[in-house]
Structure 1
Amino acid sequence: MGADAVFVNVSRAIGASVLVITGGVGLFLGWQAFPTLQRYGWRFFTESDWLPEADVLGIAAVLAGTVQIALVAMVIAFPLALLTALYIAEYAPASLRPALVSLVDLMAAIPSIVYGLWGFFLVMPHAASFATFLQRHLGWIPIFEVKDTDPDAAIWDASRYTASAFCAGIAVAMMVLPMACAVMRQVFSQTPPGEKEAALALGATRWGMIRTVVLPFGRGGIIGGTMLALGRALGETIAVLLIISPAFDLKFRPLEIGTNSVSALIAGRFGDASASQLSALLAAGFVLFVITLGVNTLAAVVVNRSRSGAGTEA
């Protein structure tokens, strides 16, 4: 009983310290952001320009860019994470699973600057070609439009398709994939063996068993893992900063050059910021903190309330 009591008290102290640190970060950002929010009010959220010398500061454009980069990343990362988790949990030979798990987890240990360099030098040229293909065939859809360029021209302007939210989203997708895959794989591995065997005994194929037993059981883990990865994608900094061409345009054209995110704005402007601009950057950080905290909290609630949430860490 003594050892159990020590373990419980230590666990409570660690959990409480995490809450205190998180709350302290939020209070600090909120206190530092108060002068900016008091001065600009709602204009801080509706203004798209960031011109400290003209006393015009707003995060509408960077919030839109943040969302675009994160959505592009999730469109790419979600199917890859889901299929990888299913293969490791249901199809991979038992002798191969530990190696595959280690390889996927190793992706999470790669520094973000490496992903940024990979995206800038290797991915971006190919992403520009693919973006041209998308505009040529789907340009009638607003999100695939790139202004001031003709994809059918004999020599198309490749520079209009680089340093975009699309290019940054590809790099971010590879960074958030391990997180989503880990949660999904853990949930899939907890599927009751009896239910799987019963489905196979009734004549279901391997895919039929996965579709009727594994996926419904792991629905909460799929949603929770995806939202946790989304929270990470919203706050990615260095990789995005290396790839994008900073622009403060309120647009929803991820294939077009020029975008920005809240985290990249802070990293790029923090070093030479004046006192008033520093407060504005911390206000932007506070907004991102609230958004990310909300997304991660909602993800944890979804996982814990699902049938597969018992024993799953999110």
Structure 2
Amino acid sequence: MTAIDIPPPLSDPRARALRADRIAHGVSLGAALVVLLVLIGVTLSLAAGAWPAFRDLGPGFLTAKVWNPVTDRYGAFTAIYGTVITSVLAMLIAVPMGLGIALFLTELCPRPLRRPIGIAIELLAGIPSIIYGIWGLFVLAPLMQHTVQPLLIATLGNIPGIGALFAGPPYGIGLLTAALILAMMVLPFVASLTRDIFLTTPPMLREAAYGMGMTTWEVTRHITLPKSATALVGGMMLALGRALGETMAVTFVIGNAHRMPASLLQPGTTISAAIANEFNEASAGAYSSALIALGFVLFVLTFLVLAAAQLMLRRLARRNGR
């Protein structure tokens, strides 16, 4: 054995560093494998529970609009429709407001106020969802019923094309109310994440842009947003995944009606709300399997959203030359 092949003694600092490196590698690999095994286990358990519903009902389970446990007729389309519509509406409301809050905190807000306002926004993200639901039921729903929805019916309800989306009696609860609650819940996450992303822009770039005579809007448009585009897309898609799976707050204010709402003001349901309302009452057999199948559909839908986010991030990174 040559001198090169002789392993270093255990007291050698290099040997201890190598041993610590191997331990860290093993722990990291084990943690990653645990996450992967949990994901596989959840997928298999959901698929096994949902298989009887897909086997008996076929593809029609995803397209049927009737949900009647009495006659064993189960269709997931109304729940899927409510989940997608409320989540998309929530993102359309929360993303512009979150971007505006982040821009205000990073570019326009006086320095003494930045930290208190930022902490207040982050505290909103820590409020339990059931509190949002109770507030929505007792405060937001009456406000929607007596003020907002009559105004929408009288104005937007008379516009050809989109008027049907704001027609009907003002129930107070419904898809629009649920979307507003979701937007309130997602907004702190979007605002705080976007603010942190904007702060990663190198200060020298912004200072150089201001030195060249750019306005705040020009610096934001040409410096801050392009540098943060990749992270912003990822953050928005994560927020969308959060909105898709929200349960308690939506259950309080959406109305929990298994029917296709013709208007955004009418009651509807979502996948998570349907499972929360009915799983305890579901008997073993087709009813229970149909609810598990709804959960499997939500799992796949969330997975597709995150996969689309990864594809968009890769495309943006490739376009930026990384």
Q: TM-score range by the shorter chain?
A: 0.7 to 0.9
Q: TM-score, normalised by structure 2?
A: 0.85
1:145 is paired with a residue of what secondary structure?
Answer: helix
Contact 1:37 1:44 in 2 (8 A): yes
Report which stretch shifted further, 226-235 or 257-266.
Answer: 226-235
Percent of paired sites with the same residue: 37
Of 258, 266, 271 in structure 2, the residue corresponding to residue 262 of structure 1 is: 271
Contact 1:217 1:307 in 2 (8 A): no
1:77-96 map, 5 Å: 77-96=94-113
How far off is 1:67 after superposition?
1.2
Structure 2: segments with no counterpart, 5+ residues: 1-16
Question: Aligned equivalents of 2:249 and 2:71: distance in 1?
Answer: 29
How many residues are aligned here? Answer: 299
Larger-Rg structure:
2
Question: Aligned equivalents of 2:187 and 2:29: distance in 1?
Answer: 31
Question: Aligned equivalents of 1:31 and 1:227: distance in 2?
Answer: 28
- The aligned counterpart of 2:92 is 75
Contact 1:246 1:259 in 2 (8 A): yes
Computed over aligned residues only, the root mean square deviation of the Cα atoms, in angstroms, reads 2.3
Check if 1:184 corresponds to 2:194: yes
1:120-159 map, 5 Å: 120-128=137-145, 129-139=147-157, 140-145=159-164, 149=168, 157=169
- The aligned counterpart of 2:228 is 218
How far off is 1:101 after superposition?
3.0
Question: Aligned equivalents of 2:115 and 2:23: distance in 1?
Answer: 33
Question: Aligned equivalents of 1:138 and 1:184: distance in 2?
Answer: 32
Amino acid at match of 1:225: G
Of 196, 202, 215 in structure 2, the residue corresponding to residue 205 of structure 1 is: 215
Question: Aligned equivalents of 1:185 and 1:300: distance in 2?
Answer: 21
Amino acid at match of 2:198: F
- The aligned counterpart of 1:193 is 203
Structure 1: segments with no counterpart, 5+ residues: 150-156
How far off is 1:301 after superposition?
4.7
Q: Deviations for 1:181-239, whole angstroms, at most 9, x for unmatched residues?
A: 23322221111223212211110012221121101222222222222111111111111
Q: Which 4+ runs in 1 deviate beyond 6 A?
A: none
Check if 1:282 corresponds to 2:301: no
- The aligned counterpart of 1:174 is 184
Contact 1:72 1:165 in 2 (8 A): no
Q: TM-score, normalised by structure 1?
A: 0.87
Of 244, 248, 254 in structure 1, the residue corresponding to residue 258 of structure 2 is: 248
Change (3 A) 1:304 1:106: farther
- The aligned counterpart of 1:152 is none
- The aligned counterpart of 2:9 is none
Check if 1:297 corresponds to 2:315: no
Amino acid at match of 2:47: G
Question: Aligned equivalents of 1:68 and 1:84: distance in 2?
Answer: 24
How far off is 1:85 after superposition?
1.7
How far off is 1:245 after superposition?
1.5
